[in-house]
Chain A
């Protein structure tokens, strides 16, 4: 451990004030990420939750140096083991991705190369990052397939992606992501394309792997209910900013941002007798257009608690309890 790492204590990833802008055709710029900061401790699982367009995936892609096309990080730092990933040259970043940070994306169908065998794709990362013999690589590939619960691993190494089901392909992608034993796994909607019973399998698999390998995890998802059972800490994003960041129990027990509260109220609860009875409480309106400048709190136009202050200036993310931050002027009233 070098001195910088000791200064960081248990912090593995320290994201500071990330701003990402995406120019769009015909002029104009989308402010996809607007000053996002969070920390992930070693071995910790943080869920980044938000609806489509909230900036959660763009935040992850910014950290990974994988922004699409014209997208650019305009400011901020992503200190990973004390090293700023955003300042790394592309070759150095390629050495971090797959080796120190594993990645699992949403769609197992398009993330695998259809013309290469599973064995070849599983050992790709090992080939890139380690000096291993062919035999050692194969052994490791078998170990990985067994680790993610693919039966008859030996016979399946020569198979192609189309010979596996969606759930199995996601298992293979997870095996690839953890092949080099990364200290951080970033999973972007890893179960969204899967059916309920398969989703439950993949969630259990990832939780088990996280414990066994001692990895930290950054889960990116739109599904607040899913998060309740898998993350230790949750950061809720809205319109490119984090509006609340809290230990998972505190977030569900006592949300301190009206958007988080609104999301919880908009969900039917299994324990409640909603059927034919209570109505859901929707959040009125729709999310803002991020092409323009937003004065004040981005949620204010949909917020039932908004006052003039909310429309005048943007509320900062401030501590509201132990390990609990919220970006709302009226947070104390919640």
Chain B
């Protein structure tokens, strides 16, 4: 990747205090995101995968500064988001939008679909009233909905159509970067492919950059140029999509890939099934966080936290956080 990345994330952390009792005394800290770094080039899709509680959604929110990072830095188009004043951050938000698993939650049920899509334009004061109306029509067309949809209310649409509406709203301010947090998880299989294809078309037409957060690994591979794997607040491996799926190096990535059910009755043979459960993010293991479930853990893993080391080749970096990769 040449030039300056559009999104540059360095040592990003998002910690939450766990409070107990009537005095709300701090009883511990949940390290939802704990020192995460990655770049996303303009026009690239970075997939972010991991199991629930691994911090992938928190990472998405912290990147956009929707949740204020506890530590670390995010540069967007060269600007350090943490140093922006509130009005400047609001202006920067036009360029960075988010879509969610449940698009219904981001749409006001009392507003018509047209008003819901127009809302970001109203908030940011973009265009005249008639220009905004025209933009809503264009956006509906862009996501494959009829212009008449503007007059209806969100509950009158199916799940797939609602996600189209969520996309139209997110694209209203002409963002360059979209964080998509599990955008297809709540959809039925036959509808998922419609939304995935739409997201790819939109990316090509509008030159979008995506952070695509999901737990469906097959879809992540399909969507992404590169994929980052998270476990308990850390990125354990990042590589190009095909490289990661063909040559996973971290034992967690191997187990995660092995856990994907394949639509082939003869391929289901030898699966690498991990033992045990995910440890609590408020009570992390010492050393490597994966060691409690790792099939190749050694004494060193309990004492030494493995840093990300690049095991890739020239021009194709492949950082992995494992002593034995």
User: Given A51-B189, A195-B51, A195-B215, are A269 and B263 also a contact pair (CB < 8 Å)?
Assistant: yes
Q: Are B265 and A275 in contact (CB under 8 A)?
A: no
User: Given A165-B277, A275-B241, A276-B225, are A200 and B263 also a contact pair (CB < 8 Å)?
Assistant: no
B46 to chain A, nearest CB (A): 13
Interface-located stretch among A16-24, A27-35, A72-80, A222-230: A222-230
Complex Cα–Cα for A274 and B45 (A): 14
Q: Are A228 and B261 in contact (CB under 8 A)?
A: yes
Within 8 A of B (CB), among A160-184: 165, 167-168
Of A224, A225, A268, A274, chain B has the most CB atoms within 10 Å of the CB of: A268
Complex Cα–Cα for A168 and B277 (A): 8
Q: Is B311 close to A, CB under 8 A?
A: no
Complex Cα–Cα for A197 and B265 (A): 19
What residue in chain A is nearest B275 (Cβ atoms)?
A: A201
Q: Are A252 and B263 in contact (CB under 8 A)?
A: yes
Q: Are B242 and A273 in contact (CB under 8 A)?
A: yes
Complex Cα–Cα for A123 and B252 (A): 37
Within 8 A of A (CB), among B259-278: 259-268, 271, 273-275, 277-278
A-B contact count (CB 8 A): 133
Q: Is A114 close to B, CB under 8 A?
A: no
What residue in chain B is nearest A275 (Cβ atoms)?
A: B241
For A51, list chain B residues within 8 Å (CB).
188-190
From the candidates A197, A223, A302, name the one contacting B259 in the complex (CB within 8 A). A197
Q: B279-320, CB under 8 A of A: which get 1 and which 0? A: 000000000000001000000000000000000000000000
B contacts with A, residue count (CB < 8 A): 47
Q: Is A138 close to B, CB under 8 A?
A: no
A229-B261, A275-B241 known; 6 new pairs, CB 8 Å cut-off, are A222-B188, A275-B221, A275-B225, A282-B194, A283-B190, A283-B194
What 5 A-B pairs are tightest by C-beta distance, nearest first? A229-B268, A282-B193, A195-B51, A280-B193, A51-B188
Q: List 26 A-B contacts (CB under 8 A).
A: A51-B190, A168-B277, A196-B215, A196-B259, A197-B51, A197-B255, A198-B277, A200-B258, A201-B273, A222-B189, A225-B218, A227-B261, A228-B264, A229-B261, A229-B267, A264-B263, A266-B192, A267-B218, A268-B222, A274-B222, A279-B197, A280-B197, A282-B191, A283-B190, A284-B194, A286-B161
Interface residues of A (CB under 8 A from B): 51-52, 165, 167-168, 195-201, 203-204, 222-230, 248-249, 252, 262-264, 266-270, 273-276, 279-284, 286-287, 302
